């Protein structure tokens, strides 16, 4: 089975400069995210204590400038992500179209538009918040370390909360993996059945096959909805639990900070700053849990795209041939059912035609006339 990581590795390597730019912008944004906590720390522990209005004004001006820079960097990062999606589309769409075209020449099963839909899914993922969550998540230990600098007990509390959310993320993957995969397979089957039946609506109606074919589609659709419902229920339960725990942690860390402040082990500014830092540390983890369903769809798209391009790799254009002269020579051409060599559909057909000559091929339906024409044309 083709690996889903191969094509992802190729994309990352081919566009590594852009991804490094995204990583750099994410690093700066996450470092600047410490500013609101430092601002609150200075407000509570310096400005309020000294009652100095000039200090308050200068701190406010500085935080406004930093937040403006952060907003600008986030905008630039979004523009870079859009450039990534465009580059991926330019890199994949034409290859996928050619591969799907080659696939359809050999067989007509499946949804012909699924491959290009997979490319669209990949492009949309690389422009969404899901991608940024993966870039921001590695920075949560930095915020935890800063909280540890305030107070070890406060840091231990934040670390425990982060560990609980990570455990929930792993649990979400475990319980939703199977139904999501089955839902994707069933959805593709239902979509293909609907598309193929609607394209042949006139023929189906004339043959009186509408009801049974509708039931077949309805069964596939209900199967898809059932698996998706199961996966959504489980993901919603994990998401609700994650939100509850995150909000509880943000409140409880204030309570713990207040207790430590009453014991003289923490300042009011550190108490507020610790709560803000904890919210920033847990936010990427919650985003990853929320976008996990989308990431599973991206994994499926990578797998299908990788399998398609592996079966039908891009080929160089053929050599240029001289203009045809009208001479046609067929020498002992034969055709067999795939996997069989004992009973040919077309056996040892030979003829020669000069320019201007015509040949009529007659026979009963299914005798091989169209197959002979396809063989001569190379299709």
List, in sequence order, every residue forming a beta bridge with 333; answer none if it has no partner.
Answer: 349
Helix, strand, coil fractions of the chain, as percent rounded to 5:
75, 5, 20
The average confidence (pLDDT) of the chain is 80
- Residue 292 confidence (pLDDT) above 50: yes
pLDDT above 60 for 176:
yes
What 3-state class would DSSP assign to 373? helix
pTM to 2 decimal places: 0.65
Instruction: Specify the range with the lowest mean pLDDT, choosing from 29-33, 70-74, 94-98, 183-187.
Output: 183-187
Which pLDDT score is estimated for 7?
A: 67
pLDDT of residue 120: 80
pLDDT score, position 69: 93
Helix (H) or strand (E) holding 348: strand 344-353
Q: Residue 134 in contact with residue 77, Cβ under 8 Å?
A: no
Contact by Cβ (8 Å): 301, 92: no
pLDDT digits (tens, 9 = 90+) for 190-241: 777 777 777 777 777 777 787 888 888 888 888 878 877 877 777 788 778 8
Beta strand pairing status for 344-353 and 328-336? antiparallel
Between the CA of residue 316 and those of 84, 319, 320, what are the distances in Å? Answer: 26, 9, 12
Looking at residue 3, what is its pLDDT?
Answer: 47
> How many residues in the chain?
379
Give the pLDDT band of residue 65 (cuts 50, 70, 90): very high
- Give the Cα separation of 7 and 103 in Å (integer): 19
Which of 234, 166, 225 is CA-nearest to residue 190? Answer: 225
Is the pLDDT at 2 greater than 60? The verdict is: no
Q: How far apart are CA 356 and CA 8, in angstroms?
A: 54
C-alpha of 134 from chain center: 12
Looking up tokens 């912008």 gives 25
Q: What tokens appear for 175 in the block?
A: 């319980």
Q: Which residue pairs from 86-90 have beta carbons closer than 8 angstroms and sit at least 24 positions apart in sequence?
A: 86/123, 87/15, 87/18, 88/11, 88/15, 88/119, 88/122, 88/123, 88/126, 89/119, 89/123
Q: What is the pLDDT of residue 265?
A: 86
Confidence of residue 370 (pLDDT cuts 50, 70, 90): confident
Least confident span in 20-34, 70-84, 113-127, 364-378: 113-127
Assess whether pLDDT exceeds 70 at residue 315: no
CB neighbour list of residue 296: distance below 8 Å, 6 or more residues apart: 176, 177, 180, 181, 184
């Amino acid at each position: 089975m083709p690996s889903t990581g191969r094509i992802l590795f190729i994309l990352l390597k081919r566009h590594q400069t852009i991804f490094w730019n995204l990583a750099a912008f994410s690093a700066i944004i996450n470092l600047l995210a410490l500013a609101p906590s430092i601002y609150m720390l200075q407000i509570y522990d310096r400005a309020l204590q000294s009652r100095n209005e000039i200090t308050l004004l200068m701190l406010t001006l500085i935080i406004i400038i930093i937040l403006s820079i952060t907003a600008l960097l986030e905008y630039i990062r979004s523009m870079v992500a859009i450039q990534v999606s465009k580059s991926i589309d330019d890199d994949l769409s034409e290859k996928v179209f050619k591969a799907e075209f080659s696939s359809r020449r050999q067989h007509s099963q499946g949804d012909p538009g699924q491959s290009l839909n997979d490319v669209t899914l990949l492009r949309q993922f690389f422009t969404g918040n899901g991608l940024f969550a993966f870039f921001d998540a590695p920075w949560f230990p930095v915020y935890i370390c800063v909280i540890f600098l305030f107070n070890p007990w406060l840091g231990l509390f934040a670390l425990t909360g982060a560990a609980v959310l990570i455990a929930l993320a792993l649990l979400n993957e475990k319980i939703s993996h199977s139904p999501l995969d089955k839902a994707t397979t069933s959805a593709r089957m239902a979509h293909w059945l609907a598309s193929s039946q609607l394209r042949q609506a006139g023929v189906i109606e004339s043959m009186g096959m509408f009801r049974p074919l509708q039931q077949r589609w309805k069964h596939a659709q209900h199967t898809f909805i059932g698996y998706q419902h199961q996966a959504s229920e489980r993901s919603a339960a994990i998401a609700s639990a994650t939100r509850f725990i995150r909000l509880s942690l943000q409140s409880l860390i204030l309570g713990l900070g207040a207790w430590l402040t009453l014991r003289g082990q923490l300042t009011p500014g550190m108490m507020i700053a610790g709560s803000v830092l904890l919210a920033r540390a847990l936010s990427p983890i919650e985003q990853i849990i929320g976008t996990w369903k989308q990431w599973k769809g991206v994994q499926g798209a990578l797998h299908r795209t990788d399998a398609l391009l592996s079966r039908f790799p891009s080929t160089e254009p053929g050599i240029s041939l001289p203009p045809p002269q009208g001479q046609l020579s067929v020498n002992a051409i034969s055709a067999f059912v795939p996997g069989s060599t004992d009973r040919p559909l077309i056996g040892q057909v030979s003829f020669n035609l000069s320019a201007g000559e015509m040949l009529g091929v007659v026979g009963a339906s299914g005798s091989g006339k169209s197959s002979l024409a396809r063989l001569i044309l190379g299709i």
